[in-house]
């Protein structure tokens, strides 16, 4: 009987499918992240590894699993895995793309609205000193209608964000390596521009790109200086696509008006400087934290393990 080691608690949808397929399951069920020693022990006899994207699977872990035939990453990203070394060992690595697009787009939309209308600041105020009553100039935010949204990365998530924010009557600029078909641009109300044009002309900028060598610190000090002083920045992609220290300084120097961060460069650590700023919203990487998205992700990792065990096609291989 083939063995699956699950390196963290994931939805029951996965174990139900695996058990039905006759696979033996061993799960790290302790709250928190698995340590490397326990992970090594867990994969020693495993045919398949299901791992959260927060768990590092390096060459040492891969070498500790001589029977390993698949690493199924529970997440759209896969920076936590040494995919090239796995490829050398003949081990496919898969991820769970697409299914988190709706959830992440909804969270991004929520962050944009909350930041623009000072909703989180208002909540904090009411839990503390409170207010003296409605007044014409009190606690003024900004409407989204007519403001320009800049989307960096118009993949599945970026397009879902554009679809939602187009309904708010926001002109949309986007940049990425390739332009979308004209018909899709019209549908989304989006215009393809250079990075510099987007940074200069957007009232709100949201990132939806992976963390790769070419996107590392995609936005840094130079871009923050070029942005409007009234601009807002949203990052629900990967922490390292922005220079966090540069962003913190730009916010402190009032080079831009605010930011909402769901991901962090040294996650789970958050620089204390951000915590001191009222114009910053901080959330704990909840972009795809919905029952629907996580169940769909669980189904993908389990289905890929079953396919690998039965010699069928494995989907979403990232290291072919």
Catalytic residue, chosen from 223, 238, 255, 294, is 238
Q: Are strands 280-282 and 149-152 parallel, antiparallel or unpaired?
A: unpaired
Backbone angles phi, psi at 204, to 5 degrees: -135, 135
Catalytic residue, chosen from 208, 223, 285, 294, is 285
How many CB atoms are located within 10 Å of the residue 153 CB? 22
Q: Kindly list the strands in the beta sheet with 24-27, ordered across the sheet, starting from the edge strand earlier in the chain.
A: 24-27, 3-6, 48-52, 70-74, 93-94
CA atoms of 320 and 318, how far apart (whole Å): 6
DSSP 315: P
Helix or strand run (H / E) with residue 128:
none
Q: Count CA within 13 A, CB hemisphere, residue 50.
A: 31
Residues 6+ positions from 8 with CB-CB distance below 8 Å: 28, 33, 34, 51, 52, 54, 55, 74
Catalytic residue list contains 164:
no
CA atoms of 42 and 26, how far apart (whole Å): 8
Residues 6+ positions from 12 with CB-CB distance below 8 Å: 298
Question: 4 and 50 in contact (C-beta within 8 Å)?
Answer: yes
What positions carry a catalytic annotation? 238, 267, 285
């Amino acid at each position: 009987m083939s063995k699956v080691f699950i390196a963290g608690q994931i939805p029951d949808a996965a174990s139900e499918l695996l058990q039905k397929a006759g696979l033996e399951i061993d799960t790290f069920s302790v709250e928190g992240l698995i340590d490397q020693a326990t992970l090594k022990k867990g994969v020693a006899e495993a045919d398949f590894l299901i791992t959260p994207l927060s768990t590092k699977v390096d060459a040492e872990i891969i070498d500790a699993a001589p029977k390993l035939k698949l690493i199924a990453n529970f997440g759209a990203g896969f920076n936590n895995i040494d995919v090239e070394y796995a490829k050398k060992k003949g081990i496919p690595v898969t991820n769970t793309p697409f299914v988190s697009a709706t959830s992440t787009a909804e969270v991004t939309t929520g962050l944009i609205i909350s930041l623009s209308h000072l909703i989180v600041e208002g909540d904090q105020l009411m839990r503390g000193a409170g207010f003296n009553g409605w007044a014409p100039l009190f606690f003024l935010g900004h409407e989204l209608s007519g403001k320009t949204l800049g989307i960096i990365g118009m993949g599945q998530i970026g397009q879902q964000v554009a679809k939602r924010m187009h309904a708010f009557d926001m002109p949309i600029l986007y940049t990425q390596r390739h332009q979308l078909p004209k018909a899709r641009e019209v549908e989304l109300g989006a215009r393809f521009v250079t990075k510099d044009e987007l940074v200069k002309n957007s009232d709100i900028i949201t990132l939806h790109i992976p963390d790769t060598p070419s996107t590392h610190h995609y936005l840094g000090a130079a871009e923050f200086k070029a942005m409007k002083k009234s601009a807002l920045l949203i990052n629900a992609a990967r922490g390292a696509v922005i220079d966090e220290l540069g962003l913190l300084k730009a916010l402190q120097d009032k080079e831009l008006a605010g930011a909402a961060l769901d991901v962090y460069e040294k996650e789970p650590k958050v620089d204390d400087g951000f915590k001191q700023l009222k114009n910053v919203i901080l959330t704990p990487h909840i972009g795809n934290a919905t029952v629907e998205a996580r169940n769909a992700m669980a189904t993908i990792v389990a289905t890929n393990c079953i396919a690998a065990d039965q010699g069928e096609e494995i989907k979403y291989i990232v290291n072919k």
